[in-house]
């Protein structure tokens, strides 16, 4: 799956690894970038790679019945639950999980959100294949599984053919947190991680940068990593919400 050939007019992609960012800040940042992209204030698509403090997110039509408990494993306090503008049910985000948020203008390509979702999955299908693992898709269930356990969740929102949200890739999160919910609404679902598959995984930032060439091949766009990532994406202004489209994920 590659759009590189015959699509010379596609814009470039500005990518950045932002480290640990609160979910609220990243959500506002995504919305600001999406607004600028939709209004042609910027000519680039944007890929944001980062991780969050523990949080459960729930799609607009998702059921809170899929949240079994929010009590922290330490017994002190609760993991926040935030309903957001994407499709799908509840999922968990937290330290050790790499988020890939893709703000892409589909007006410049195929205007097909489902194909956009498959592109996002394919990035990690190929990454895992390079490590010797076969990532599986399931009919009508966004995301990826390895050995019957889910390693990547997906959820996308779109408005005016400009997307936001994306995927969550389990590198080394606390997998016990997935037992506090029915992940993506699937009763009895089990999660896995890169740590479980290979032992000591690479740092999240290293994984993010290694995905650049894969993203280029799949999206058919040049990927540019700025020197000062945080400075490039420092303006946080909330804007209107998007229509949820697909997935049970970020």
Q: Which residue has the higher pLDDT, 110 or 99?
A: 99
Residue in the block written with tokens 């699937």: 186
pLDDT for res 247: 52
E strands present in the chain: 13-20, 45-51, 55-58, 81-83, 91-93, 97-103, 136-138, 141-146, 149-159, 162-170, 223-224, 243-247
Count the Cβ atoms, other than its own, within 10 Å of residue 150: 25
pLDDT level of residue 87 (50, 70, 90 thresholds): confident
Retrieve residue 241's tokens: 């919400």
Question: Of residues 104, 177, 184, 215, which has the active-site annotation?
Answer: 184
Question: What's the confidence (pLDDT) of residue 88?
Answer: 77
pLDDT at residue 217 greater than cutoff 60: yes
| Distance between CA atoms of residues 226 and 17, nearest Å | 9
What's the confidence (pLDDT) of residue 5?
A: 38
Mean pLDDT (whole number) for 157-180: 94
pLDDT confidence of residue 108 = 84
Q: In this model, does residue 26 exceed pLDDT 90? A: yes
Among this protein's residues, is 184 annotated catalytic? yes
Give the three-class secondary structure for 42.
Answer: coil
Per-residue model confidence (pLDDT) at position 115: 96
**Predicted confidence (pLDDT) per residue in 27-40, tens digit:** 899 999 999 999 99
80-86 mean pLDDT:
86
Helix axes 212-219, 113-130, angle to 10 degrees: 140
* pLDDT confidence of residue 245: 44
- What are the domain boundaries of the chain? 13-63+75-247
Q: How confident is the model at residue 225 (pLDDT cuts 50, 70, 90)?
A: confident
pLDDT, mean of residues 147-174: 94
Question: What integer pLDDT is reported at residue 227 of this predicted model?
Answer: 60
Residue-wise pLDDT for 174-184, tens only, equals: 999 999 988 87
pLDDT at 6: 41
User: How high does pLDDT run on average in the chain?
Assistant: 86
Residues 6+ apart with CB under 8 A from 111: 161
Per-residue pLDDT at 76 exceeds 80: no
Class of domain 13-63+75-247: alpha beta
- Assign 238 a pLDDT band (cuts: 50, 70, 90): very low
Query: For the residues 161-190, what does the mean pLDDT come to?
Result: 91
Q: Which SS3 state, helix, strand or coil, does residue 94 take?
A: coil
127 Cβ neighbours under 8 A, 6+ residues apart: 207, 210, 211, 214
pLDDT in tens, 114-149: 999 999 999 999 999 999 999 999 988 889 999 999
pLDDT of residue 85: 77
Q: Could you give the C-alpha distances from 247 to 31, 87, 96, 169, 172, in angstroms and in order?
A: 18, 5, 21, 14, 22
Strand partners, 65: none
pLDDT at 233 > cutoff 70: no
Query: What is the pLDDT at residue 183?
Result: 83
């Amino acid at each position: 799956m590659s759009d590189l050939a015959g699509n010379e007019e596609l814009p470039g992609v500005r990518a950045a690894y932002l480290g640990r960012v609160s979910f609220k800040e990243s959500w506002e940042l995504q919305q600001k970038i999406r607004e600028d992209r939709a209004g042609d204030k910027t000519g680039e698509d944007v890929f944001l790679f980062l991780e969050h403090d523990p949080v459960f997110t729930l799609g607009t039509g998702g059921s809170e019945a899929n949240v079994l408990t929010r009590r922290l494993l330490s017994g002190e306090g609760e993991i926040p639950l935030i309903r957001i503008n994407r499709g799908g049910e509840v999922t968990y985000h937290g330290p050790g999980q790499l988020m890939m948020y893709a703000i892409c203008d589909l007006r410049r390509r195929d205007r097909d959100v489902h194909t956009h979702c498959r592109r996002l999955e394919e990035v990690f299908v190929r990454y895992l294949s390079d490590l010797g693992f076969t990532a599986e898709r399931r009919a009508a269930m966004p995301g990826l599984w390895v050995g019957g356990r889910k390693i990547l969740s997906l959820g996308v929102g779109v408005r005016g053919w400009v997307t936001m949200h994306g995927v969550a890739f389990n590198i080394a999160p606390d997998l016990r947190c997935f037992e506090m919910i029915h992940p993506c609404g699937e009763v009895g679902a089990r999660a896995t991680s890169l740590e479980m598959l290979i032992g000591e995984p690479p740092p999240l930032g290293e994984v993010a940068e290694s995905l650049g060439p894969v993203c280029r091949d799949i999206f058919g766009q040049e990927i540019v990593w700025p020197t000062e990532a945080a400075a490039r994406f420092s303006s946080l202004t909330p804007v209107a919400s998007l229509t949820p489209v697909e997935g049970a994920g970020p």
